[in-house]
Amino acid sequence: MRALAVASDLGPPRLAASSVADPSPGLRPPSPHKRERELLQIWPKFDLRRQQVTQALVRLQAARSRAGAFTEKRFLRQDFGGVVNIGFARRAVCSSVVIGLAVWLCGGLTVTAQYKKPGSPAPLLYSGNESGTFRIYFSGAEIGQEKFQIIESGPSVKASAETRLTIERDKEKVSFLIRPVLEFNRFFEPVSYEIGQDSGPNKTKARVTFRGAMSDAVYENGKETDARQIDLQKDVLVLDDNVFHQYIILAKRYDFAKGGIQEFSAFVPQQFIAGGVSVSDKGMEAVQVLSQNLKLQHLLVDTGELQISLWLDDRHSVRKLAVPKSGVEVVRE
């Protein structure tokens, strides 16, 4: 981030008589001494404003330092290191721009187009219920499972899961239980999100309430509570770390009738950062899913730093996800 600097050696300007030009032959310019007196009267206002800007920058830097200290000290993202965190390029919509994303997988949901306005494309709407289990692999070894369900109720949709992961840390096995709950409407606009993570006696939680232009987030780790706000787009995708079923929404947001490269904004609650992803259709491919050889449609998700492959069946349900650079694969039973 480019540093901002405010000059501290500014003083009232001095105008020499020769610096004042005659604007037109018939007009006489005001006395340079009069102009200098006027500037001396208004300069304290500019000087006060300069001091206010300096103070605001100092407060902003202090706030960022506190927020960064809290996040790096204890919050969720550090627990898994590089297992399933996905890096993003600097395409952010907030001041912190390097994104690590979750892994969303798509199931047997349907998307319908309704309320089409004359002369404009119909919006994609979510429709359907689904539940299932994903197996999670890291470097070829199974490290856990995620059981999820997505239930539509009237105008709202609730996506929840229970994920159990076991990883090796300092030559010891460490287990995690993750419980995310996302509520959004049929236009894919998030309403609220909550995620809790337990690992032995350590418990952390995050809650996000989406309020249009400015959304509220609260982070808890058992000892500290940190409240923040962030400016997000109304239809931002919630793609959190270590929450694998959430790529269902990303896959369902892709408009296959339109095709090509499609851009979406995304928010990672555990890291409190937002940015952009692009999705493109790479056609049909032969893919092995568990013991089956399937012909599946390949969607490529580009974060700017990593590429995530989603393979969909003929119902546009995700059967497999892979992040080669991270050594992560997720397949549906």
pLDDT value at residue 4? 32
pLDDT value at residue 306? 83
Phi, psi for residue 19 in degrees, rounded to 5: -85, -10
pLDDT value at residue 36? 52
First to last CA, the chain: 44
Q: Are 249 and 63 in contact (CB under 8 A)?
A: no
* Chain-centre distance for alpha carbon 6: 31
Q: Are 100 and 88 in contact (CB under 8 A)?
A: yes
pLDDT value at residue 61? 53
User: Residue 209: in which H helix or E strand, if any?
Assistant: strand 202-209
Q: What is the mean pLDDT of each run of 10 residues along the chain (333 residues)?
A: 34 32 38 51 53 55 44 38 50 31 31 41 80 94 96 94 93 94 95 96 95 91 92 94 88 93 94 92 92 92 88 88 92 93
Domain boundaries, the chain: 30-74, 78-332
pLDDT value at residue 171? 86
Q: Are 80 and 101 in contact (CB under 8 A)?
A: no
Phi, psi for residue 270 in degrees, rounded to 5: -65, -25
Measure the CA–CA gap between 250 and 246, rounded to whole angstroms: 7
